[in-house]
Amino acid sequence: MSTALAAELPGSPAVKENVPQGKLAMWLFLVSEIMFFAGLFGAYIVLRIAHPELFAPDYLEKNFHKLNEVLAGINTLVLICSSLTMALAVHASQHKDDAGVRKWMFLTAFFGVAFCTIKGFEYAGKFNSGIFPGTSIFFSFYFTMTGVHLVHVIGGIIPIAWMGLRSSNGRYTSNGNSTIEYIGLYWHFVDVVWIFLFPLLYLLK
Amino acid sequence: MTEPIAAQASEHEHADFRPLYYKIFAALITLTIVTVAVSYVPFKEMGSFGYPLSVAVAFGIAALKASMVVMYFMHVKFDGKEIYVLIAVPLLAAAMLLFGLMPDVAFNGW
């Protein structure tokens, strides 16, 4: 393409791009995700304040089973660790460090798998106690919110592990390649959702 | 044609953010401990507003943690202002969703 033509086209390098297209696309996706989770959180908070008796620990304990705060707390720490390793993977990708990208992406995927494993034990405990999504409105929220979040975690682990596997010869580290940064945005968002889920679902008394 | 973009991209990525990442990580771990500790505060004994207050405190700390992740791990603080606008719209919509449903809860049955 001739330089003269390129200069006239909007979005061409001659026009200053404030937000790269890939980043803008990822943020637009995350913005739609915010609305998706806002609906769930909004309904949950309103119902909880309107009917505290449905969520009182003595009521839950007498009728069913309390949520496992310890497993959820450990999972919170696991996800925070994975956010740190993700940030370090992005740093490595911006500093031409193929091996670093591989290492930090694998570690991030590992923490993701650890989260899913712990979640699996938590769900197993519920099922063994005869608790299912239809048990009560509280457990409908519990399984829907944590389940949808779990799907997001799994949806993150797969590309993160895949990219870690393929990180060599500057595939993700050559100039201008921001793939790791974009998947990182998604992963941090998954962490943010859990940051709200943990206290609101597990800790409120 | 790709050269200017590449040059632009590498320009602001020289900085080493790792010390900052470790600080944010430490803050997030600390705030998680605070979150757990706060859940033992007997809000219910504070009268009829104790319960909404406990929800507000839990939500507030979570919002603080989330904003740290968004600002520093997701680099919104260092990116263009456009991202702020992009995030502000759904947050406003989410607030409308929540507070639009609140009046009945706030004024009936209390």
Diameter over CA atoms, chain A:
76
Contacts A175 to B, Cβ<8 Å: 6-7, 9-10
Residue B62 to residue A195, Cβ atoms within 8 A: yes
What amino acid occupies position B43? F
Residue B100 has pLDDT above 80, yes or no: yes
Residue B110 has pLDDT above 70, yes or no: no
Site of tokens 């995030």 = B87
Name residues of chain A where pLDDT drops below 50: 1-3, 6
Q: Which two tokens stand for residue B58?
A: 């839990």
Instruction: List all residues 6 or more positions away from A61 whose beta carbon is below 8 Å from its beta carbon.
Output: none
Burial category of A40 from C-beta neighbours within 10 Å (exposed 0-12, middle 13-18, buried 19 and up): middle
**How far apart (Å, rounded) are the C-alpha atoms in residues A95 and A104?**
13
Question: Residue B8: which pLDDT band, with cuts at 50, 70 and 90?
Answer: very low
Residue B74 to residue A188, Cβ atoms within 8 A: yes
Site of tokens 């207050």 = B53
CB atoms within 10 A of CB B4: 15
**How far apart (Å, rounded) are the C-alpha atoms in residues A54 and A118?**
27
pLDDT at position B15, please?
Answer: 81
Contacts B21 to A, Cβ<8 Å: 84, 87-88, 91
